Amino acid sequence: MYQTYTPSSILSIGFGETLEQVIVLTDNKVATKTFAGKPVTRRDIMSLDDWTIMAKSLGEQIQTDYLPLPPNPLLPRNLARPASTYAAPESGRGYLMDLNYSAQSGSSSAILELSTLLQKYGVSSVEEALAITEVPVAAPTSVEPESYPIGTKLSWKHNGDSSRWYNPNSRTAIVVKDGILQVKENIDGVTTMTQAPGADYQKVARKFFSSLADWKATLPAGGTTTVAVATEDFSLPSIQRKAAKPIVTETDIDYIDELKRRYEVHSKLQEGLTPVEQRCDLIIQMSEMANHIKEIMQSSTLTSVNTTPSGAVSDAMRKLSYISKRLARRAYTMENCHSRIRIMPETANVKPISFINNYRQRIMAFVGGREVEITSNKKLGLLGVAWDRQQDAIGKWFKPTVEKTFAQLGVDLKADGYPRLKVYYRCKSIEL
């Protein structure tokens, strides 16, 4: 009859490159955790009795709950004791004995710390140090917190093959409101991907964990976890975090440009062609269409229509009809442009400006207590609101009112001198 172990216990044989570890499961089974000194990417499950027979046939001694390493012959072994009998951290003798036990197990950091303590207090062995009534020792290390602020980035990397310029095994996770979201996983240099049912593409696999402990329990042995604490309060909605950041600009146009960049607003003031430029452009287009019609009329398809297949003749006539209709529309538009130039010569060389925004995000200004969409064009040096001042009509399809400052536009100002603005961002709104 072999010894029984509690489920979740870790059993180890060998050390270094021959280290093999298994996790004890229920129903007298074990799952491979580490093989040949490296964490496994695929777990093998077998009977605990069979694994014990295999370990004893190799002449290995089964260790529990710690990583067996080659002993250090330079340190005394009569002070070694099981990990379950560790003394309280505040006990000087207990801490020294724990440190000596770790050093005997091959921990380089423990060996260095133990040597430093012995040299500091003028003794040559651990026995002499224990003979001292009270040995001043270093303070215990701080305990890792059970949770981190929302937005904290957790990165785990395996301390594996140093011959590669990159780390083949890593995990990246973000602390979210309800737990831990693992956003990336690399196994042997390959990123884990997933494909939704019915989709023809893959995306990086994500996995949610309800707690930090659950995420750490899935990490292979032999790795290092680093923490990058978030500098922002991610418990607040993104629109509030963006609004809390100060805006430092020199001009009113720069102020709106910064808001557009921050809230991903794609509105703009677009400059069109003057009536004279539009008329010239239409004449050029009509000339090209007339040449195309002439080419079709002079082609062999229509000059010898009686001997040409009926299908080719139909295609040529269909092209003539299509081009002629486009030519007629441009002729009508050109006539209107010429009429505007003749009736209002003062606007013949004035480029019209239109307000463009085909997206949901927008910035609103208060003009006379009414919400009006506002945008900017730094190249033109203008601010614009979707409000026709002459007709007192609000809408992007009307002629916008453009000026260089908020005061010239008539935007309502707050007590601190800043304009009264409101932002619509991701189905939320906030007044700045």
Q: How confident is the model at residue 144 (pLDDT cuts 50, 70, 90)?
A: low
The pLDDT of residue 2 is 57
Same domain, 221 and 164: yes
Average of per-residue pLDDT values in the chain: 79
pTM tops 0.85 = no
Could you read off the pLDDT of 25-48 as tens digits, one per residue?
887 888 887 777 677 777 778 888
Structural domain contains residue 206: yes
Domain boundary (22, 39, 58) is at 58
Residue 88 lies in a domain: no
Do the domain assignments include residue 333?
Answer: yes
Q: Which two tokens stand for residue 14?
A: 């060998």
pLDDT of residue 256: 92
Distance CA 107, CA 72 (A): 9
The verdict on residue 33 lying in a domain is: yes
Domains contained in the chain, number? 4
Question: What are residue 204's phi and psi, to 5 degrees?
Answer: -60, 130
In a domain, 281, yes or no: yes
Q: Which amino acid appears at position 162 of this protein?
A: S
Instruction: Mean pLDDT check: name the lowest of 50-64, 128-142, 373-387.
Output: 128-142
Residues in the chain: 432
**Would the CA dihedral through 123, 125, 128, 133 be positive or negative?**
positive
Q: Tens digits of per-residue pLDDT, 251-300? A: 999 999 999 999 999 999 998 888 899 999 999 999 999 999 998 888 87
Lowest mean pLDDT among 262-271, 296-305, 399-408: 296-305
Final residue of a structural domain among 58, 74, 89: 58
What phi and psi, each to the nearest 5 degrees, are found at residue 317? -70, -35
Name the residue type at position 40.
V
Domain that holds residue 424: 241-271+352-431
Judge if 360 and 325 occupy the same domain.
no
Cβ atoms of 144 and 117 closer than 8 Å? no
Q: Are 205 and 323 within one domain?
A: no
Under 8 Å CB-to-CB from 220, ≥6 apart: which residues? 33, 34, 39, 40, 158, 169
H-helix or E-strand spanning residue 96? helix 92-104
d(CA 84, CA 298): 102
Whether residues 264 and 395 fall in one domain: yes
